[in-house]
Structure 1
């Protein structure tokens, strides 16, 4: 058991180590981002770590990570997690993202934590206020939940060249671990919260015949990756994180839709 835990910790350190070749594309305006974000918004992140590179390569996407903006909902929720956030982050605790991290599990971080990353904001459209509150509450109920160790080893095997893996390990990329462990992955956790109020992130369209022609089927949250929020018809992409370009008129610096 000790050896297994030691190997798990070593693998987590290796996968989450940041790489030096990160390229910032545009500067973020954190004040504008804090002012414009709403609870329930999904913030996509282009990560800096080895596992981030793996996810982006396997999903053919610019986004490796997703967090949900909850604002000050944790402070209003109360409890030891709220006290810890306020002590650790001070005023930034009023502008929190809830996310799932391989090393620390489901946790809250301030928006400013990702100020030096490439970001995209995806906002659910047409979701009733009471449903949105239920989505945020569902996310808060998972606070403190940790990654399943089997999921970590499943991720680690994708560091091995594909042709060296036994045939039984050649599964669909990133469909990993048990159903429980998959739902602690950042994007799947968020998708599950929306799924429970009947708001699928990425519905599939069935190409059937007759009455079943083009029927919509909700994809299970376990299959949702960060890029699915970017591509979803149920989410609006907003450019509210970008710093205004010098010389633009003030009205041009308003939030832009992609």
Structure 2
């Protein structure tokens, strides 16, 4: 009898959790943002190991916007096409998680309710996107970043880390100790759970590429860089980082002359 009651409680808890995840992932006021980005330009120019930022429209995206004070609420890593992956193990693993066209441009991302998955880039054709490109990253290190991202496929999304990050953004002293973030605790969080920007930050840390490192001047006036906790990296940090080039693809290319004559003004 007790086992049956426990099973019912677990079933109800899972049902309630799934309902909450569905509510958070709902887009109450869905808008077509394709006019903000020339997707064809972006698709032609994007390179493996580029970070793609998204201005999300879901309820959880609005929460993230409030936490990080930025329109960029999600990040994905562009890994290229299956046929272009040079490492055979990584190529086979990517093909295991994506059974579509092997020449389809793909991104690896961590999504609430889905975990770390692979999606075609064209899925986001109607979104507001931005490319953040690691400046000077070698091709061999770009391959390592891509391969490590592919290793993350199948991991669950770390909702606890998202809540910890939210708590970390509040004034630390006014929170009760039991509410304070565990981001700095040793081995905090489950190693099989991760959020989108933290997953990408881990990949770049594998090749010691900086995002927003802690910079210190030592007593002998030597500058030293220290890696920031990857759990603290948010999507907007790739936009702010001086080590990433921001590449924008507006719907009306400002490099064309004269640009003002090409704008689609409405007579009214």
Which TM-score band applies after superposition, normalised by the shorter structure? Answer: 0.7 to 0.9
Alignment of 1:51-200 (within 5 A): 51-73=60-82, 76=85, 77-79=90-92, 82=95, 85-87=98-100, 90=101, 94-148=104-158, 150-151=160-161, 154=163, 167-168=176-177, 170-171=179-180, 178-180=188-190, 184-200=194-210
Using a 3 Å threshold, how does the CA distance of structure 1 residues 10 and 174 change in structure 2: closer, same or farther? Answer: farther
- Matched length: 242
Contact 2:54 2:75 in 1 (8 A): yes
User: 1:174 Cα deviation (Å)?
Assistant: 8.7
Q: 1:56 and 1:8, CA in 2 relative to 1: closer, same or farther beyond 3 A? A: same
Q: After TM superposition, give the deviation of residue 72 of structure 1 in Å.
A: 0.4
Q: Secondary structure at the match of 1:180?
A: coil
Cα distance change of structure 1 residues 209 and 64 upon mapping to structure 2, 3 Å threshold: same
The 3-state SS of whatever aligns with 2:190 is helix
Question: Deviation at 1:113?
Answer: 1.4
Quote the Cα distance in structure 2 between the aligned partners of 1:5 and 1:75: 40
Q: CA deviation at 1:109?
A: 1.3
Change (3 A) 1:4 1:168: farther
Instruction: Tell which deviates more after alignment, 197-206 or 34-43.
Output: 197-206
1:49-106 deviation line (CA, Å, top 9, x unaligned): 111111111111111000011110477444475266343xx47x52111100011111
Q: Structure 2: 5+ residue runs without aligned partners?
A: 1-9, 260-268
Q: State the match for 1:11 in structure 2.
A: 20
* 1:188 shift after superposition: 0.3
Query: Residue 242 of structure 1 corresponds to which residue in structure 2?
Result: 250
- Residue 202 to residue 53, structure 1, CA distance change in 2 (3 Å): same
SS of residue in 1 equivalent to 2:150:
helix
Give the TM-score, by structure 2 length. Answer: 0.76
Q: Using structure 1 for the length normalisation, give the TM-score.
A: 0.78
**Separation in 2 of the partners of 1:130 and 1:23?**
37
* Cα displacement (A) at 1:10: 1.6
Give CA deviations for 1:117-137 in whole Å, capped at 9, x if unaligned.
Answer: 221110001222211111100
- 1:75 touches 1:94 (CA, 8 Å); kept in 2? no
Structure exhibiting the larger radius of gyration computed from Cα positions: 2
Report Cα offsets for 1:132-178 as digits up to 9, x if no partner: 111100000111211246457x47x98xxx9xx97245435998994
Root-mean-square deviation over aligned CA pairs: 3.6
Partners of 2:92 and 2:193 lie apart in 1 by: 24
